[in-house]
Amino acid sequence: MRALGGLLAIVASSMVFAACAALSTGTPAPGEILPPADASARVRELTQKIAERDRLLQSLQTEAIMAYSARDNHPPKVREQITVQRPDSLRVEAMWALSVPFIIASSGKRLTIFEPSKNKLIHVAATADALNQFIQIPMAPADVVTLLLGIAPDSSTLAARKPDSIGSEGEMTVASWGIEKSMRRELGFQDDQLAMVRLRDVTGAVEYEVRYSDYHDIGAGMMFPYGVDATFPIAQSRISFRYKRPIINGAVPASAFELSAPAAEQANLGNANQ
């Protein structure tokens, strides 16, 4: 028994020595989970990296393929021309074969929509409800611009804070922070890139989730996602974009976000002049 006890003590000592040696390298062994302090430091490093990139992103001009679905509604994919500029200017032209494009534009508080089938120009307040009605994205214009530019909301603020919790979803590391109105912001990281942005309400229900994929180096080492998939559980809708040759931070004239059609019927809905 004394011999067996001595053998066990030697084995235990060897295991402790090996574990200490692994920790001393600073690199986790295969299958090893990073200690909480190391995981927090890694998330902070990634969040700071993304915040630095986000500060550089100001505008986007690109052709895209958009797919949308809601409940049992699955319309065909649409080719679009998208132009956005921070903080809240956007223009989306949806093009169908052999038809004049449906155009929606916003700069500031007013949203303008051109419906070619009715030759009508509609003016409405730029709200989440209006954007949900016309382009199926239940977000305010500034939030849509953030979504389409692949920006993590509040990234600069979150980078300065320790996350409240860190977990994993498959190969993705997910960090969570409490924000205003008792809501929670969650960021997912994979392959050192922003892979997911999620917002939860006070009850924990998901208001929206955006997944970013297919990153490309667009110059000067800046990585930008060509794939954007957003889901809105409450509205039971999903919208995805696949960008083609995006132009980042190109010159965009203010006139790009203004629509005029003198010969079209004009309609003002709600508080369009706010």
Is the pLDDT at 98 greater than 70? The verdict is: no
Does residue 206 contact residue 214 with C-beta atoms inside 8 Å?
no
Q: Is 179 exposed, middle or buried (0-12, 13-18, 19+ CB in 10 A)?
A: middle
pLDDT score at 10: 40
Does residue 243 contact residue 79 with C-beta atoms inside 8 Å?
no
Is the pLDDT at 73 greater than 80? The verdict is: no
Confidence of residue 118 (pLDDT cuts 50, 70, 90): confident
Q: Which letter, b or e, does each residue of 89-109 get, where b requires 16 or more Cβ atoms within 10 Å of its Cβ? A: bbbbbbeeeeeeebbbbbbee
Is the pLDDT at 109 greater than 70? The verdict is: yes
Confidence of residue 70 (pLDDT cuts 50, 70, 90): confident
Of 12-21, 89-98, 174-183, 226-235, the least confident: 12-21
User: Nearest-CA neighbor of 29 among 174, 20, 37?
Assistant: 20
User: Nearest-CA neighbor of 141 among 113, 53, 150, 132?
Assistant: 132
Write down the domain spans for the chain.
1-32, 51-269
pLDDT score at 241: 95
User: Nearest-CA neighbor of 204 among 226, 230, 182, 231?
Assistant: 182
51-269, which class in CATH?
Answer: mainly beta
